Amino acid sequence: MIGEILRFLLDIVFNLVGAILLARAWIHAAKLHPFNPMSQAIHQATNWLVEPLRRLIPTQGGLFDWASLLGALLAAAAYLLLMWLVSTSSMLPAKLIPGLIGASIVTLGRWALNLIVWMTLIQAVLSWVNPMATIMPVLTTLTDPLLAPIRRITPKLGALDLAPLVLLVLAQIAMMVLSRISFTLFPLFVL
């Protein structure tokens, strides 16, 4: 029972840390204004990890914030190692290290898809409840690159936009595939 509680808590904490680190990288890629309150909050929440990594991997205005992505990858590896430790009460065998690296990358993909799902859901609900919410421009900036290609191929049904629904379904399918891949790489549990 204690192991289940610890796995649950690890899952919550690391999913949140990974999502925030990926959101920082996404904000950088979308070129969201640094004085935006959401940008500032995410930067303050992640500076403890990203700033030391930035000394190793400087970001020079490119599309990717490599320090944030590396931080998220390190968080994914720490998450998997701790889950292994809690589940088996033993250290990870050396022969599973390549699988751990691959599973960390896959976990990063799952966290990114989770972030896409949550941002899309929040944007869709707010578009019905309060389309003038102050966070709507931020959500639109972050999700439009994903929704625009889908909008081009989905039928127009007046005010009903099917693109968020299609994106949610595609993201869920991708998460199922990544869960299977993760189990193949790191066969402790289905993530």
pLDDT tens, per residue, the chain with 191 residues: 888 999 999 999 999 999 999 999 999 999 888 888 999 999 999 999 999 999 998 877 778 899 999 999 999 999 999 999 998 888 888 888 998 999 999 999 999 999 999 999 999 999 889 999 989 999 999 999 999 999 999 988 887 889 999 999 999 999 999 988 988 888 765 34
What is the rounded CA–CA span in Å between residue 99 and residue 105? 10
Model pLDDT, residue 163: 94
Report residue 50 as tokens.
């990203």
- Residue 94 DSSP class: G
Q: What is the pLDDT of residue 183?
A: 80
117 in a structural domain: yes
Confirm whether 190 is domain-assigned: no
Is residue 153 one of the residues assigned to a domain?
A: yes
Beta bridge partners of 160: 157
Question: What's the structural domain count of the chain?
Answer: 1
The pTM of the full predicted model, rounded to 2 decimals, is 0.89
Residue 73 lies in a domain: yes
Instruction: Let me know: does 20 contact 50? Beta carbons within 8 Å.
Output: no
Is there a domain that residue 65 lies in? yes
**Predicted pLDDT of residue 19:** 95
The parent domain of residue 83 ranges over 2-185
Give domain status of residue 191, yes or no. no
CA atoms within 13 Å, Cβ hemisphere of 154:
16
Q: Both tokens of residue 143?
A: 């999700």
Does the residue 176 lie in any domain?
yes
